[in-house]
Amino acid sequence: MASIHTQNSSIASFIPVHPESHFSIQNLPYGVFSTVQDRNPRIGVAIGEFVLDLAKIADMGLLPASAPVDVFSSSSLNRFIALGKDVWRETRVAIKELLAEGNQTLQADQEVRDRVFVPVNDATMHLPVDPPGYTDFYSSKEHATNVGCMFRDPANALLPNWAEIPIAYNGRASSVVVSGTPVRRPNGQLKLPDAPRPVFAACRKLDYELETAFVIGKPSTLGTPISGEEADEHIFGMVLLNDWSARDIQQWEYVPLGPFNSKTFASSISPWVVTMEAMVPFRVPGPPQEPAPLPYLAKGGNDTYDIRLEVSIQPETSLASATICRTNFRYMYWSMQQQLAHHTVSGCNVRVGDLMGSGTISGPAKDEFGSLLELTWNGKEPVRLPSGEERTFLEDGDTVVMTGWCQGDGYRVGFGEVSGSILPALTPEFE
Amino acid sequence: MASIHTQNSSIASFIPVHPESHFSIQNLPYGVFSTVQDRNPRIGVAIGEFVLDLAKIADMGLLPASAPVDVFSSSSLNRFIALGKDVWRETRVAIKELLAEGNQTLQADQEVRDRVFVPVNDATMHLPVDPPGYTDFYSSKEHATNVGCMFRDPANALLPNWAEIPIAYNGRASSVVVSGTPVRRPNGQLKLPDAPRPVFAACRKLDYELETAFVIGKPSTLGTPISGEEADEHIFGMVLLNDWSARDIQQWEYVPLGPFNSKTFASSISPWVVTMEAMVPFRVPGPPQEPAPLPYLAKGGNDTYDIRLEVSIQPETSLASATICRTNFRYMYWSMQQQLAHHTVSGCNVRVGDLMGSGTISGPAKDEFGSLLELTWNGKEPVRLPSGEERTFLEDGDTVVMTGWCQGDGYRVGFGEVSGSILPALTPEFE
């Protein structure tokens, strides 16, 4: 289904990049990292198996003067992002030049190379942005239909507002964590069928949600909506997002104000933010929308992206992970432009670093479903892993790995991965 | 219903304080202000008709050394609050001493007094805290019952989870504004009865919600719940909150993920944060809870506060405002301790400056309802104002003023007010 894109494919770096590496010179995603030698978190760019240390590059005067040198020594991308689109573009051009095959500036001097290129395995990755806000949409028609079938009425699975509104809710920004952070199984209220009252217990239906999120690059003013046409100006880049979900807690708590404890215990994002500039060659049209949305949600042309996505699970006792879902971002019904136009249409303002989650990304086929809830049909049809183990929901010790990339002609523009392992629940004191 | 509290009533300040002033020496609420002469926002304390400039007082070496001098020159209280409870206590003691009747330090020197006391009318108030997060609870049984009667089933007005869970949702922190900020009527999707599809239009059912919010003073760690017993240690103070609500947008959008655009266009708070220390004398028992909550929500003793609350409306054409609601915070079913225990029980962390809204505060009597939705029973029974005008929901030009205070013996510990005027909706470009 995904097409091969050929733009930019002729550019190469003097740093060797495997064709399946996510971090080609066409990508250049930003992240925040530290090392044992230098524990100060700072900004880097991934290239092949290395992180290019932008703090050091900036100190050497090799980045555009439009960005203050110390901005690259920040512990988040927020200050850099806030400098605006011209600076993003100039910085990207400068980095691309420095890494290009023929450029000798860094290449020629082994001492310089040793200083500015950190092997990716030696880098500890930190949360790339400090998100002032985190919103989660619900924009996959397949996902919303699956959930509606399970929890409401299969005959009317999609609620009447779903095809009119890019439905969203405010998530909890404080518990957004970077890939690799262990996730503790939450305790909470569960209401068992036929029980007169809920019990307080560890979640029994712990799930992941395969998502992406876009990162706001340009703020808006309270009271002033962002139109669909203006939306791209406000988006810096994208990350992978695992919106961990406690299904049993969710089902008991979510009426009438939406999910809360079932979501707020953790949301994991990839350490690398892929810029929208890098993704331009992968723009594709989204699915048709029927009915045609209201004018403020008018659909653009190539308004989505061809991003291949995979989810794998590795039980604690297994040596290998098993891929249990392969899907694509382009299935999403509502585009990012429509999401942002809707988010701000009532006057709500956005801020630099805000995360806007896509909602679970499910495709039409069963192995394209983006959550265990859907893959196992609420636990009724266990997924069989190659190790012989079965899963309905996540077990303690399981590691969930999500990955995603755009496939070019001989190169990839990818997100790396977002992963997390499940720790057992705390034993409540009052048990 | 509210009792008269006598503790601390003998303390007096050399600054004259009217018995009905909210800003007695027993109160000493913190805010952030600037003046025409000095446009830098800085921290102040309200006393009678004045703001005591803590930045200047700190520069003079009159505040405890435990707080860095420059913390009082901040544009929000966050840094001061983060210093912790011992610093709050020491600072409060020092300010109280400086303002006490017999103390000559500030009193004796007219030049000093002119410099450090700013008439409250000369102070521009700013947002007192920069909230990293904003959560809104739904903790008034009367409010939840009223809403359930109107929108669901009067026979089963309270949903089954309401008496088990201090229901809450994540609000939007970016659009929290300080009292006095005009609020633009939002545009959004409205679904008229019997219409096949929604229209995009200005909200026709614009409402306020009378609330308080508590301010987190001590952060928690992701994965580590705060127990009900520990909760008070994490609360710095309280503000008044008007959680503006677009009822028609809300009704169409809120299923299944909760309110979004209907709330995110603005939430107004009072400029003064009343500390929990100042409110100790006004602790009272909350209402009985039946069924007894699950153990993690075990009820404390005097776990709520006797705070008198009023809402008034002033139409643009009126010279005076009319009080349309008088109620009390002590009616709230779920306590702040229970709210915080629930918020964190699944592992969600809180941060300094987080706002935790109470939810609409309604009492049992009709004139104690905390929203127009309830007072007018969804527009069916208009409220008549003394000017002869009627209101079902808010009209352009209306100013809503909320106030609240604890009544001591001859003094008040009050919040001042939170006010906002309604601006007409923007005309959408594509109309």
Strand partners, B53: B44
B38-97 pLDDT tens trace: 999 999 999 999 999 999 999 999 999 999 999 999 999 999 999 999 999 999 999 999
Q: Is B213 on the interface with A (CB under 8 A)?
A: no
Q: Is the pLDDT of residue A338 over 50?
A: yes
Q: Is the pLDDT of residue A429 over 70?
A: no
DSSP assignment, residue A388?
Answer: S
pLDDT-derived band at B8 (thresholds 50, 70, 90) equals low
Distance from CA of A355 to the nearest CA of B (A): 12
ipTM of this complex: 0.96
Strand partners, B203: none
B335-359 pLDDT tens trace: 999 999 999 999 999 999 999 999 9
pLDDT-derived band at A11 (thresholds 50, 70, 90) equals confident
pLDDT-derived band at B140 (thresholds 50, 70, 90) equals very high
What span, in angstroms and rounded, lies between the C-alpha atoms of B306 and B284?
6
Largest CA distance in chain B: 74
Q: Give the alpha-carbon dihedral of B126, B129, B134, B140, to 10 degrees.
A: -80
Contacts of residue B213, defined as CB under 8 A and 6 or more positions apart, other chains included, come to: B134, B238, B239, B240, B241, B269, B355, B356, B357, B358
Q: Is the pLDDT of residue B258 over 60?
A: yes
Tell me the C-alpha to C-alpha distance, in Å, between residue A250 and each of A190, A260, B392: 9, 7, 35
State the DSSP H helix or E strand holding residue A114, giving kind and residue range, or none if neither. Answer: helix A110-116
B chain contacts of residue A349, beta-carbon cutoff 8 Å: 174-175
Q: Of the candidates B222, B291, B296, which has its C-beta nearest A175's C-beta? A: B222
Write the DSSP string, B127-184: -SS--S-EEEE---HHHHHHHHHHHS-GGG-S-TTTTTS--EEE--GGGEEETT--EE
Mean pLDDT across the stretch B26-42? 98
* Tokens standing for residue B149: 């009667």
CB contact under 8 A, B255 and A161: yes
pLDDT-derived band at A8 (thresholds 50, 70, 90) equals low
Q: Which one-letter amino acid corresponds to residue B396?
A: D
Q: What is the pTM of this model?
A: 0.96
Q: Is the pLDDT of residue A32 over 70?
A: yes
The CA R_g of chain B, rounded to the nearest whole Å, is 22
Q: Looking at residue B9, what is its pLDDT? A: 56
**Which residues 125-144 in chain A show a CB within 8 A of chain B?**
132-133, 138
Q: Is the pLDDT of residue A92 over 50?
A: yes
Q: Is the peptide bond before B29 cis (omega within 30 degrees of 0)?
A: no
Closest residue of chain B to A430, computed from CA coordinates: B295
Contacts of residue A249, defined as CB under 8 A and 6 or more positions apart, other chains included, come to: A186, A188, A189, A190, A203, A261, A262, B346
B chain contacts of residue A426, beta-carbon cutoff 8 Å: 223, 225
Strand partners, B52: B45, B117
What span, in angstroms and rounded, lies between the C-alpha atoms of A240 and A151?
27
Strand partners, B403: B310, B417
B96-107 pLDDT tens trace: 999 999 999 999
Mean pLDDT across the stretch A119-139? 98
Q: Looking at residue B151, what is its pLDDT? A: 84
* Tokens standing for residue A363: 């495709």
Q: Can you say whether residue B99 is alpha, beta or left, with left for phi > 0 and alpha for psi between -120 and 50 degrees?
A: alpha
B chain contacts of residue A168, beta-carbon cutoff 8 Å: 257, 260
* Tokens standing for residue A42: 């700072």
Tell me the pLDDT of chain A averaged across its residues. 95
All domains in chain B, ordered by first residue: 30-126 (2.30.30.230), 134-423 (3.90.850.10)
The answer to whether residues A125 and A75 touch, using CB atoms and an 8 Å cutoff, is no
- Triad B250, B255, B258: Cα angle to 5°: 65
The answer to whether residues B181 and A221 touch, using CB atoms and an 8 Å cutoff, is no
pLDDT-derived band at B4 (thresholds 50, 70, 90) equals very low
Q: Is the pLDDT of residue A152 over 90?
A: no
pLDDT-derived band at B299 (thresholds 50, 70, 90) equals confident
Q: Which of B88, B91, B17 is nearest to B58 (CA)?
A: B91
Q: Of the candidates A169, A174, A295, which has its C-beta nearest B351's C-beta? A: A174
pLDDT-derived band at B431 (thresholds 50, 70, 90) equals very low
What span, in angstroms and rounded, lies between the C-alpha atoms of A89 and A87?
5
